[in-house]
Amino acid sequence: MSSTSSGFWRTGDEPGRRQFVTFDRGGTGFSLEGGGHFDGVTVAYETWGELNENRSNAILILHALTGDSHAAGPISEGHPNVGWWDEIIGPGKAVDTDRYFVVCPNVLGGCQGTTGPSSLATDGRPFGSRFPVITIRDQVSVEVELAHYLDITTWSGIIGGSMGGMRALEWAVGYPERVDRVVVLAVGAAGTADQIALCSLQVRTIEADPHFHGGDYYDTGESPREGLSIARGIGQFSYRTWAEFESRFGRHAQDDDAVLENGRYAIESYLNYHGDKLAARFDPNSYIVLSEAMNHHDVGRGRGGVVAALKNVRHHVTIAGVSSDRLYPRELQEELARLIPGAGRMALITSRAGHDGFLIESQQVGDIIAAALGGTE
């Protein structure tokens, strides 16, 4: 971005280019819910489209656990994959970049440019095990600073699924004056025992890797990649469904191997593939920090409980769930729709893909988002 004489910030000439900004809140830094503190926080973010003259057309996109700021755009330098919502964000798409100025930041605790465990602390060494406990609410407070920096007083819309949906809810409850419309996909008002159990098992798997070194592995030449790969396999299992696995893989062997002769089942190969793919690009410590932040998710904490927190939401909120989601089942979204005044009925995404349906069913999700944003002009 470049500044103008009026102090406003406008998009550069390279949409989808990762940009960085550091905040220190005038020297006071960031105090965290868990008691920790950052002197400053760096945020990586990407933008698409142009901010209009009265700065009223900004949309905030919030990614899930292992996502990043590259929500849209092609493979390019620094972006080994196509944007994770590329079919939804762009000219003429559901989030129309000819109409909206779209912003997607990498989350606090991540490993794609925003301050996280692999970032350097003030002593010049990676935080590692010293990285403090963070919450979804802490992550949103950093996103509020980004809005200040971009000189965006009110977001026209905030959209997020899974962990991104947690942050969208926190914006709706904690900063109602700063957003007009919110779209929350595939998440609930607070972490459940089932979700916490799954996350905690994944965390323990990473920590049990002999290369973890208590979280201080950055200078050892080793990394707990195997632990992260297994953790991702556990996660991938929870993101999909019995029906999909049975129809895609059944009891078939991988590559026609004889399973009883040291072969593998196709489903094992699938989980190994996704685990190794993530381990090649993601920091294990970030996976732990973000998983635990999701466990701490509770919009009712310190607000008199979930019911009291949600009943005060007054702006337009669209709630959507995936029909086959076993990680965040539709009952959680139905509860949100019931407790948020004016939310209306939950929108249902029909899919066999489970929780990942909010990423896979682009047409249905795009239609829900377009309707929530008021359609096209």
Helix (H, G, I), strand (E, B) or coil at 160: strand
Which DSSP letter does residue 120 get?
A: B
Count of CA atoms in the C-beta half-sphere (13 A) of 107? 32
The length of the chain, given as a count of residues = 377
Check if 325 is active-site.
yes
Q: Of these residues, 69, 119, 141, 162, which one is catalytic? A: 162
Q: Of these residues, 96, 298, 325, 356, which one is catalytic? A: 325
Query: CA 219 → CA 32, 128, 192, 288, distances in Å?
Result: 27, 10, 36, 19
Check if 162 is active-site.
yes
d(CA 169, CA 173): 6
**Alpha-helical segments (H) within the chain:** 136-149, 163-174, 193-207, 225-239, 242-248, 266-279, 284-295, 306-311, 330-339, 357-360, 362-372
d(CA 82, CA 77): 11
Q: Of these residues, 274, 296, 297, 355, which one is catalytic? A: 355
- By the 8 A CB rule, do 62 and 157 touch? no
Q: β-strand 58-62 against 101-105: which pairing, if any?
A: parallel
Residues labelled as active-site residues: 162, 325, 355
